[in-house]
């Protein structure tokens, strides 16, 4: 019988620039939920790609009545 070994996922890292306010929101949400900041960003990016958002438009603000 052949024994298979599961290999860990391969990850890459890169830097992004965020406004201080957005970074603070990210840190707060991470602390409140116990979910890592990286996992939150990964989830947000996956959602963004699945919904084909236009990065030139802030659709969250539009959907939530903010300007």
Domain chopping of the chain, boundaries: 20-55
* 31 or 56: which leads in pLDDT: 31
Confidence class for position 43, pLDDT limits 50, 70, 90: very high
CA atoms within 13 A on the CB side of 58: 6
Q: How much is the pTM?
A: 0.67
Give the chain as a DSSP string. -PPP-PPPPP---------HHHHHHHHHHHHHHT--HHHHHHHHHHHHHHHT--TTS-HHHHHTT--
């Amino acid at each position: 019988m052949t024994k298979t070994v599961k290999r860990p996922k391969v990850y890459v890292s890169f830097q992004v620039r965020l406004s201080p306010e957005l970074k603070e929101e990210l840190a707060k949400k991470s602390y409140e939920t116990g979910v890592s900041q990286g996992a939150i960003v990964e989830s947000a990016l996956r959602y963004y790609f699945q919904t084909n958002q236009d990065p030139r438009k802030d659709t969250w603000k539009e959907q939530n009545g903010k300007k």
